[in-house]
Structure 1
Amino acid sequence: MKTFSATAALLTVALLAAAPPARADTATITVTGRVLPGTCTMGNLTVALDDIEAGDVTPGQASGLKPGVLNFTGCAGVASVDLSFDGTADAAQDNHWQNSAASGPASGVAVALLEGASGTTYLQKGATTTVPVAGASTAKLDVRAGYYRKSGTAMTAGAVSTQVTVTAVYK
């Protein structure tokens, strides 16, 4: 029996040696992705203009300006915010924001929106501006809103209201 076991073992080794080697194969794992800019939370802004006498609305310039701040909070992974402004422009009032008061609207007057705490940069339909964030968790855009009447335009008393849509692109 020992001869048979030794012969069987020798035969098994010989068959394994004569068998073709197992094939090896390789594969590559490719991982792709993209880090997108973070976001902020942009708050709504309501600017309540003071009532103004019709004679105090200076033709051709913003009158009765009130400040406001468009705030961005919770910013993460954002270096800047590109803003664009949209709404209904009033062609009769040099493309300032159309008075859309639903009840008892004033005529011959629009809403002016200016960028910054001072200066004369109007934010009209299609305007863009950039707000730097630079690693902070908050940012802001100072604005001023007021009444606007084009020179030579007749004006009647009434309510003034408008809405401006601000779109933010985070970078």
Structure 2
Amino acid sequence: MLDRKVVVTRSAMQSLGLACVLVFGVSGCRHKPVVPPLPPITQPVDLVEVPRQEPPPMIQPPHITLPPVPVASGAHPHRERRRRTATANASTPETEPSSTSSPETAAIGSLSLGGVANPHAQQEAADLITSIEKRLNGLSAQKAEGEKQQVSRIRNFEKQAQDALNSGDVEGAKTLATKARLLLDDLEK
């Protein structure tokens, strides 16, 4: 019985091998088919020119009338007030201290003239005050509302500095304006 199984297995293997050879033989080779080259052109071909046409006329868009733009009636432009210069101080002549004392004594205890005698310092104080005012006006509404007390302090120092400048106290005005500027720097951080 063992011999018979071997014979059946052997014949099955042979028939399977034969079937594989036939399948591969019938299917043939799978190489790319060679395409014959095209014949060369013997006569030149004339190019046909297409006549140019004018572009179609543009269609005019219909005229549409738009309603007028609404204008806010409650809005008023912000007007910036001009600051008065120290013309009031210039009209009242200041008396110069008498120079009867010795120069050494005068240098120790003498006070310098503000206002008219030093216009550069006066202009510097005025510029400092206006820059503080511009920065305060430039603050966002949220920040100004959140730090109302700080803004109030800054405005108070600014007002005092302006009053001091108007009265002729340039050094006092610069000191107060510097305090306001420092508070404003802290607020903007």
TM-score by length of 2: 0.17
**More helix, by proportion:** 2
**More strand, by proportion:** 1
Q: Which has the higher contact order (CA 8 A, sep 6+)?
A: 1
TM-score by length of 1: 0.19
Kindly name which structure, 1 or 2, has the bigger radius of gyration based on alpha carbons: 2
